Amino acid sequence: MKKSDTDGYFKSEMCHCLACGSEEIRAWLVKSKGSMQFNLWKCNDCYTGFMNPQPKREYLDAIYHKSGHGLIEPISSEEVIRLETEYPNATVDGERLVGKAKSFLAGKNDLKALDIGSGFGFFSKAAALAGFEVMAVNPGKWENEVFEKINGFSPLPYFFDEVDFKKEKFDLIILSQVLEHIEEPLAFLQKIKSLLSPSGIIAIAVPNVDSILVKLLKAKDNGCLWVPEHLTYFSAKGLATLLSRAGFAVKSHMYISRIPYNALSRRLNLAGAPRRIMNGLVKNLQKPPLQLMNWLGLGLTHNIWGQVAT
């Protein structure tokens, strides 16, 4: 695609960091996807990265109305459950995000949770199993079909900013792999704060811009630096600063790293006992180096819990 073909694709260039608001920003990386180029900038104060300029909303909406998982065609609930059973990923993350959030809500009854960008529904399922009454919002029609099979109810099939929640209040709002997709994360979090009950909790999972993979691969990284879908690439400092600006007190933060331990057996076309043995071997061998990466702040993902500041 020639430059002239992309003139209407992008918004105007930004002059401040989306996380901390600093104007001390600089060009960082140029990332290509097909014939298009995306300019990534970085903040000199909080080290958060962001796409600059961003694509216009209409182009992003066209992607998310189908899927937030990068699907190019529908997937069956049976296939999603099969994959999750062999390699528990969202289930484990959901139990951790929800479980720790609930520990900050000790003593409260009749708990309500809102799962924004609910994907296939494993986080909503974790919240329901933890005793929350759950509402979910997700525009992706392919994901919502799977969600309904897993949870027995459907998400509201809209973008978050299209929903009128009236006077509804929630004790927990889940944002798993969502905040990096948001055009204006500060305004987004401020709206979320208005929907939380007093001392309510927000539970967030986002990729780590300081991960070992980003440092090694730079613009070739497609996990954190996934274009055009990911708009902001959070550092720990930037994420904490953003939450503080939005009116939250950070309750806990941790790095999470996990590599699909069934990837090698799948590549080798193993089946049956050999596949199970290989999966178990890779699962256990990856733990020490990944724990070290987390300790060094080089983990793949941030998990952070914020509480409405009083």
Proportion of the chain above pLDDT 70, given as a percent: 95
28-87: per-residue pLDDT in tens? Answer: 999 999 889 999 999 999 999 999 999 998 988 887 766 565 666 788 999 999 989 988
124-162: per-residue pLDDT in tens? Answer: 999 999 999 999 999 988 899 999 999 999 999 999 999
CB 172 within 8 A of CB 113: yes
CB 297 within 8 A of CB 200: no
Query: And the tokens for 179?
Result: 């905040």
Query: Over the chain, what is the mean pLDDT?
Result: 93
> What pLDDT does 2 receive?
43
> What pLDDT does 67 receive?
58
> What pLDDT does 20 receive?
98
237-270: per-residue pLDDT in tens? Answer: 999 999 999 999 999 999 999 988 888 888 899 9
Give me the DSSP letters along the chain. Answer: --HHHHTTTB-PPP-S-TTT--S-EEEEEEEEETTEEEEEEEETTT--EEESSPBPHHHHHHHHTT-SS--SS---HHHHHHHHHHS--HHHHHHHHHHHHHHTTTT--S-EEEEET-TTSHHHHHHHHTT-EEEEE---HHHHHHHHHHHSS--B-S-GGG---TT--EEEEEEES-GGG-SSHHHHHHHHHHHEEEEEEEEEEEEBTTSHHHHHHGGG--SSS-TTT--EEB-HHHHHHHHHHTTEEEEEEEEE----TTHHHHHTT--HHHHHHHHHHHHHHTHHHHHHHHHTT--SEEEEEEEE--
180-207: per-residue pLDDT in tens? Answer: 999 999 999 999 999 999 989 999 999 9
β 133-137/112-116 pair status: parallel
pLDDT over threshold 50, residue 216? yes
